[in-house]
């Protein structure tokens, strides 16, 4: 058995490159506004090769969305690990900080927003639900928080999306301060 680090085949490496590019490009223009050729150009791979890896545009978007939720779950775990003996509230707070840090790069945030707007596409809706199930189940299991606290955690995450997308952090209007009170972003 060979020892040492695992190396990806050229096909696997290109698949990874395409998925990373898909996250970035779909986050910018959304599912409907992004041609596969734009992802291919960003990845510096021919559109034909992208279609060989992902036969349909939906498959490519779903792969990007799945990557997004995998990264979110990993970030939440890293956050939870910072308070190994913490209360459920402490663990949720640490997970929230880790998530806020993760979405400082708006690509993952915007990909989720675009996924919500493209949820009329059945495969995207299914992937969105699967991602939300992954995150919600992980948060519940890892934090051991009551259901209401988990619901509030997920709801605050969605509010963070709205605050970030609408650029409300520095808005001095009363209504904006009401929405952003006690919510910090990086």
Domain ranges, ordered by start, for the chain: 10-180
Architecture category of domain 10-180 in CATH: Orthogonal Bundle (1.10)
Residue 1: predicted pLDDT: 45
Under 8 Å between Cβ of 156 and 89 = no
Three-state SS annotation for 121-182: CHHHHHHHHHHHHHHHHHHHHHHCCCHHHHHHHHHHHHHHHHHHHCCCCCCCCHHHHHHHCC
Residue 170: predicted pLDDT: 86
Handedness of CA 141, 103, 154, 125 (dihedral sign): negative
Residue 14: predicted pLDDT: 92
Residue 12: predicted pLDDT: 84
The interaxial angle of helices 147-165 and 106-117, nearest 10 deg, is 100
Residue 186: predicted pLDDT: 53
Q: Tokens representing 69?
A: 């939720």
Q: How far apart are CA 142 and CA 140, in angstroms?
A: 6
Residue 9: predicted pLDDT: 62
Q: How far apart are CA 176 and CA 140, in angstroms?
A: 30
Q: How far apart are CA 1 and CA 147, in angstroms?
A: 46
Residue 184: predicted pLDDT: 67
pLDDT-flagged residues of the chain (< 70): 1-9, 184-186
* pLDDT tens digits along 165-176: 898 988 989 999
Burial group, residue 6, by CB count within 10 angstroms (0-12, 13-18, 19+): exposed
Q: What is the DSSP letter of 54?
A: -
Helices (H), 8-121: 10-29, 36-43, 47-53, 57-81, 88-102, 106-117
Neighbours of 2 (CB within 10 A): 6
Q: How far apart are CA 47 and CA 52, in angstroms?
A: 9
């Amino acid at each position: 058995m060979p020892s040492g680090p695992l190396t990806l085949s050229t096909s696997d490496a290109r698949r990874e490159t395409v998925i990373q590019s898909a996250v970035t490009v779909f986050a910018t223009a959304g599912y409907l506004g992004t041609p596969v050729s734009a992802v291919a150009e960003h990845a510096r791979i021919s559109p034909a090769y992208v279609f060989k890896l992902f036969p349909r545009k939906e498959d490519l978007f779903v792969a990007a969305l799945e990557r997004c939720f995998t990264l979110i779950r990993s970030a939440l775990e890293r956050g939870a690990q910072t308070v190994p003996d913490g209360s459920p509230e402490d663990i949720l707070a640490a997970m929230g900080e880790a998530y806020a840090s993760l979405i400082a790069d708006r690509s993952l945030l915007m990909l989720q927003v675009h996924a919500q707007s493209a949820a009329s596409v059945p495969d995207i809706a299914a992937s969105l639900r699967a991602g939300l199930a992954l995150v919600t189940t992980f948060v519940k299991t890892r934090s051991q928080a009551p259901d209401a606290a988990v619901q509030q955690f997920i709801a605050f995450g969605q509010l963070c999306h709205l605050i970030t997308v609408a650029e409300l952090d520095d808005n001095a209007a009363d209504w904006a301060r009401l929405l952003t009170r006690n919510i910090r972003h990086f």
